[in-house]
Amino acid sequence: MHHTRREADDVRMRGFAQRHTVDAALAWLDAQLQPLTAEIVSLPFAAGRVLAASVASNVDVPGFDRAMMDGYAVISDSTEGASAYTPLQLEVVGQSMPGCPFRGVVRKGEAIRIMTGAPMPDGTDSVLPAEWIGVEADESGTNVSSPHVIVALAAVSPGKHVGKLGEDITSGTTILESGRVLRPQDLGVLSSIGHGDVQVVRRPRVRLAVTGNELLPSGMRPRGFCIADANGPMLAALIDRDGGLVDFPGLVKDDRDAILKSLHSDADIVIVSGGTSVGIEDLAPMLVAQYGELAVHGIAMRPSSPTGLGRIENRIIFLLPGNPVSSLCAYDFFAGRAIRVLGGRSKEWPYRAVCGRLNRKISSPIGRLDYARVTIADGLVEPLAVTGASVLSSTTRADGFVIVGEDSEGFPAGAQVEVWLYA
């Protein structure tokens, strides 16, 4: 048994026997992913959420014909022949305000003062805009809504400046399709048809287990041989960005039981940071293999090679390397994708891509995908000279990154490349 352990350790110390391609890892991952079930949220919390079911209206919006301009509601016939040279008198017999309509019936030769949005009075079919009227020299009225006479300086045709019942939304119409990421104006439309809440895809619960006995919790100053946790705050913000609900109860010791407890937490996704390689101290991969399926371990990419993907029961497990750049890169390639898809979103990166010209070559061996941090200014792309996956500040100095695919040896200076912009 001791013998066996030594052998196992030596194998591990020598690295991964075989690395999966990124494509193979993604193929396994994508087969695990489907959107979660729905939940109901009220509109003030619905922006940016993903609609879980299409929404049809069962009301007309507006529910009545309404004025589209301030002016006078009339029977259009009453204005026939009116012009600046041949003004036609109309008697103002009332007013219609939004929410407070004129209740009578309007006859030819009469006009109802009306505000934009107010219901069209019975009998009227058009609005004579305020700009097209003159006022008779009748200054006796002290109430603007009391009867007085105006003159029409132009004719209006039937339906002019009238918004018809249902012109915005007709009852029975599907107004928003399932899967849509809700925009601010969508909330307005939902509200206008009487919805105060909406069915959206549940946000994936993501347990974040940041391991490493050398780590101090965020907020503590690094001292001696201890370093302050960088991955916890970073990963929590990434999970939130991708629509996940972060469960990050604190650092986890490099201890079998502590890690196992995290792996069995009540979550849709568990992300373990650190201790994911092939050393005997790397407990998480062994535990995933023992209690579930370690489907992918070791990926042909740099950084992030010691990444693992697996399942335990219904939970998808991501083992992200402790080096912070590896952690960011592996998150973006695998964990973020899963969080987005479970939450009903696109599997694509939330980063915007721009093109630029390399001012220096990027080399990368065939058979390995490389994640090269770059700056870009005036379309000129400069790779950062960085030594390794531990220099997190390279990802704050960088504007984004360039991906060199596994079947490429890189790009020569002067090549046009696609840059994925951070933030």
Angle at 296 (CA atoms; ends 294, 299), nearest 5 degrees:
145
Nearer to its own copies, 215 or 341 (CB): 215
Token look-up 């592996």 returns 330
For 166, phi and psi rounded to 5 degrees?
80, 5
Among 9, 39, 91, 122, the residue binding its own copies under the rule CB under 8 A is 9
| Binding status of residue 101 toward its own copies by CB under 8 A | yes
Tell me if 228 contacts its own copies by CB under 8 A.
Answer: yes
Q: CA–CA separation, 399 vs 412, rounded Å?
A: 20
> By CB neighbour count within 10 A (0-12 exposed, 13-18 middle, 19+ buried), where does 59 fall?
middle
Given a contact cutoff of 8 angstroms between Cβ atoms, the answer to whether 65 and 164 are in contact is yes
Q: Is 391 in the site for its own copies (CB under 8 A)?
A: yes
Q: What is the distance between the alpha carbons of residues 182 and 200, in angstroms, rounded to a whole number? A: 9
Burial of 1 (0-12, 13-18, 19+ CB in 10 A): exposed
Does residue number 105 form part of the binding site for its own copies (CB under 8 A)? no
Residues 42, 54, 86, 363: which binds its own copies (CB under 8 A)? 42
- Under rule CB under 8 A, residue 390 binds its own copies: yes
Stretch that binds its own copies, among 20-28, 86-94, 104-112, 134-142 (CB under 8 A): 134-142
- Closest to its own copies by CB, 191 vs 363, is 191
Q: CA-to-CA distance for 208 and 274, rounded, in angstroms?
A: 11
Could you say whether residue 232 binds its own copies (CB under 8 A)? Answer: yes
Q: Does 135 bind its own copies (CB under 8 A)?
A: yes
Of 104, 100, 123, 105, the C-alpha closest to 114 is: 100
Q: Considering only residues 321 through 350, tell me which ones interact with its own copies, judged by CB under 8 A.
A: 322-324, 328
* Residue 238 touching its own copies (CB under 8 A): yes
Site residues (CB under 8 A) for its own copies, limited to 261-320 = 277-281
Residue 25 or 208 with smaller CB distance to its own copies: 208
| Nearest approach, Cβ of residue 51 and its own copies (Å) | 11
Phi, psi angles (nearest 5°) of residue 299: -130, 140
CB 231 within 8 A of CB 274: yes
Could you tell me the smallest distance in angstroms from the CB atom of residue 323 to its own copies? 7
| Cα–Cα separations (whole angstroms), residue 3 to 9, 256, 287 | 10, 21, 21
**Site membership for its own copies, residue 199 (CB under 8 A):** no
One of 188, 250, 379, 405 touching its own copies (CB under 8 A) = 188
Task: Confirm or reject binding of residue 212 to its own copies (CB under 8 A).
Answer: yes
CA–CA distances in Å: residue 423 to residues 18, 395, 396: 34, 11, 10
Cα(8)–Cα(345) distance, integer angstroms: 41
Structure tokens of 45? 């919390």
In the bound complex, what is the minimum distance in angstroms from residue 211's beta carbon to its own copies? Answer: 10
User: Is there binding between residue 400 and its own copies (CB under 8 A)?
Assistant: no
Q: Per CB under 8 A, does 377 bind its own copies?
A: no
Question: Based on CB atoms, which residue is closest to its own copies, 113 or 411?
Answer: 113
Among 256, 261, 347, 352, binds its own copies (CB under 8 A): 352
Closest distance to its own copies from the beta carbon of 39 (Å): 17
Cα 100 from Cα 243, distance rounded (Å): 44
Of 30, 108, 172, 183, the one binding its own copies (CB under 8 A) is: 183
Task: Report the nearest approach of its own copies to the CB of residue 101 (Å).
Answer: 5
- In angstroms, give the least distance from the CB of 31 to its own copies: 27
Cα 302 from Cα 54, distance rounded (Å)? 42
- For position 407 contacting its own copies by CB under 8 A, the verdict is no
# binding residues, its own copies (CB under 8 A): 110
Is 81 near its own copies (CB under 8 A)?
no
- Tell me the per-residue interface mask from 138 to 177 with its own copies, x by CB under 8 A, - otherwise: -x-xx-x------------------x---xxx-----xx-
Q: Does 70 bind its own copies (CB under 8 A)?
A: yes
Torsions phi, psi of 49, nearest 5? -80, 165
Q: Is 376 helix (H, G, I), strand (E, B) or coil?
A: strand
